[in-house]
Structure 1
Amino acid sequence: MKIGFIGTGSMGTVLIESFIRSGALQPSSVIASNRSKHKADLLAAKYPGLLAVDSNRQVAATCGTIFICVRPLVFKQVVDEIKPYVTPDTTVISITSPVLLRHLESSLPCKVAKVIPSITNGVLSGAALCIYGERMSEEDRGSLEWLVGMIGKPVRVSEQHTRVTSDISSCGPAFLAYFVQKLVDAAVHVAGLPQEEATRLASEMVLGTGKLLTAGGYTPESLRQRVAVPGGIIEAGLELMERELDTTFIRLLEATHAKYDEDVEKVDQQFGSGTHTQ
């Protein structure tokens, strides 16, 4: 069966390359289109057998499963293009969180789902959020989760929690990388540690911490308690962060939710769905 990808930007490319690298897909089973075909052509050159095509219609007419990897405000245009070419047996998968299942189910006659990937899937790790429309049978869901499971851990979530779960799994790597960069910058500024050495140490620290929180059996709270000695250096640092960052993460999620609601409202207007409600 051919699997199509409409959009070969950052996340579309991550998905294609990860599926191929993991062995979940052979290049010959992948068909890709992009607004700028040059990007799809680059993937075809890198993975012989992968077919780059000129239009989204060609993807829809050829593939039983289609990942749509475009920005929210481009989605309606893509849906309108492919609608005449999909059948009830086709599965269309959005990786764009502000495009809701009701937008897809009201506009397409096929099975629909959402998979919200993470940049961590590029190293065959991390979570991938799975959200299903009513036309997806349990067998359909299992098949998709097998595919997604080759590049990460599929986690079923309800659509009403799309934003907050995405904040953790998809946005989290950027937020964590920002924290790590600030820790590195501080080490360079305060103690003169070489940037490269500080970055290497911080990166290994993040890797090891991730293992402790998964395979090691720790929770964030138990890990903090295990490491911080009462009256010690770590506790002093934690007390400062508690004071300075008390509401930072709440405000962070409030900012991402506000942007999400703004995007959903714009998508609603395009699909003619009225006021956003969840």
Structure 2
Amino acid sequence: MVSSVAVIGTGRMGSMLLQASHRFSPGRFQLFASGRQSTLDPLKDAIADLRTGSAGEIAAACDLIILAVQPANYLALVAKIAPALKPGAVLVSITNGIPLEAIAERSRAPLVKAVPNVAHAVGRGISLVMSGPRADTTHVGNVVDFISPFSKPVVIPARDARPATNITSCGPALLSLFATALVQANAKKTNGVGHDVLLSLMNETLGATAAMIDAGIGLEQIMRDAATGGGMTQAALEALSLGLPELADAAVEQTFARERLLNASSMKPTRQGGDE
């Protein structure tokens, strides 16, 4: 059973995981962090019982060690902390940029991949979980136990990490980009309503759409219900259908290409053993 969790790297994602755990499961886990002082100080202000130290120190003390550093620093960090890990400790990778096999070559600890996303800050969103080398159902369950208070964990095969991540982790950014573009396109047509008003309308519309989905209304039904035959919504949907599928395909292909590039360069760290 996991009682202590170390997060090595306190950039955006590492800090978010610590704050989400503290907010949605206060006191359930002893939290440890290692990172730059400039990011540790705000965390210590927000989490009174947060323990800090070097990467090796906190890794040696914890049951679950989450690697939240930049991909270029992953392998050097794992090699550095591996000798300090206590028996039964589980390593958790949160990046698709480094193959699990490359991490496993540098540590004998069970390895699990988890792909969080920014929605966990408000206790929402899917967290993908994948079993890696030397991990069994207990190790996967320990990771699920940590993240479940602030996310909905979904266990998938590691081979499907990229397409699933495009939906769960990239999705909030991609949907926000489209929403922003729609606001900007309409801002060009207004006769007095400002951009801020349109943005507030969009924010409420996104929230209302999410509420409909939570109520069991599917995406296809939302489109059918909102579009009157021969109306303006139908015209807009028809215009988007001419080019949007190709744009989506192109975006997905770019994520696969970037992941291949990161994996290919994973053996060439730019900084040795950095903590962020």
Alignment correspondent of 2:210: 210
- Superposition deviation, residue 125 in structure 1: 0.2
Q: Which runs of 5+ in 2 are unaligned?
A: 270-276
SS at match of 1:161: helix
- Superposition deviation, residue 25 in structure 1: 4.5
Equivalent pairs counted in the alignment come to: 266
- Superposition deviation, residue 138 in structure 1: 2.0
Over 6 Å off, 4+ runs: none
Alignment correspondent of 1:7: 9
Cα distance in 2 for residues equivalent to 1:246 and 1:48: 48
Call closer, same or farther: CA 1:199–1:263 in 2, change over 3 Å: same
CA contact (8 A) 2:56 2:84 kept: yes
Alignment correspondent of 2:129: 130
Cα distance in 2 for residues equivalent to 1:169 and 1:74: 24
Cα distance in 2 for residues equivalent to 1:25 and 1:143: 16
Give the share of equivalent positions with the same residue, in percent: 25
- Superposition deviation, residue 130 in structure 1: 0.2
- Superposition deviation, residue 268 in structure 1: 4.9
Cα distance in 2 for residues equivalent to 1:104 and 1:7: 16
Cα distance in 2 for residues equivalent to 1:246 and 1:20: 40
Establish whether residue 38 from structure 1 lines up as the match of residue 38 from structure 2.
Answer: yes
Cα distance in 2 for residues equivalent to 1:207 and 1:267: 39
Residue identity in the other structure for 1:22: F
Cα distance in 1 for residues equivalent to 2:46 and 2:148: 24
Establish whether residue 194 from structure 1 lines up as the match of residue 197 from structure 2.
Answer: no
Alignment correspondent of 1:273: none
Cα distance in 2 for residues equivalent to 1:194 and 1:3: 46
CA contact (8 A) 2:72 2:268 kept: no
Alignment correspondent of 2:273: none
TM-score normalised to structure 1 length: 0.90
SS at match of 2:188: helix
Cα distance in 1 for residues equivalent to 2:265 and 2:48: 39
Alignment correspondent of 1:63: 62
- Superposition deviation, residue 26 in structure 1: 5.3
CA contact (8 A) 1:4 1:59 kept: yes
Matches within 5 A, 1:14-163: 14-23=16-25, 25=27, 29-34=30-35, 36-53=36-53, 55-163=54-162
Alignment correspondent of 1:236: 235
Alignment correspondent of 2:272: none
Matches within 5 A, 1:259-278: 259-268=258-267
Call closer, same or farther: CA 1:145–1:205 in 2, change over 3 Å: same
CA contact (8 A) 1:41 1:52 kept: no
Compare 143-152 and 64-73 and name the one that shifted more.
143-152
Compare 99-108 and 199-208 and name the one that shifted more.
99-108
Cα distance in 1 for residues equivalent to 2:59 and 2:133: 21
Cα distance in 2 for residues equivalent to 1:246 and 1:12: 34
Q: Which runs of 5+ in 1 are unaligned?
A: 271-278
Call closer, same or farther: CA 1:212–1:56 in 2, change over 3 Å: same
CA contact (8 A) 1:3 1:31 kept: yes
Q: Cα RMSD over matched residues?
A: 1.7
Residue identity in the other structure for 1:238: L
CA contact (8 A) 2:67 2:91 kept: yes
Alignment correspondent of 1:276: none
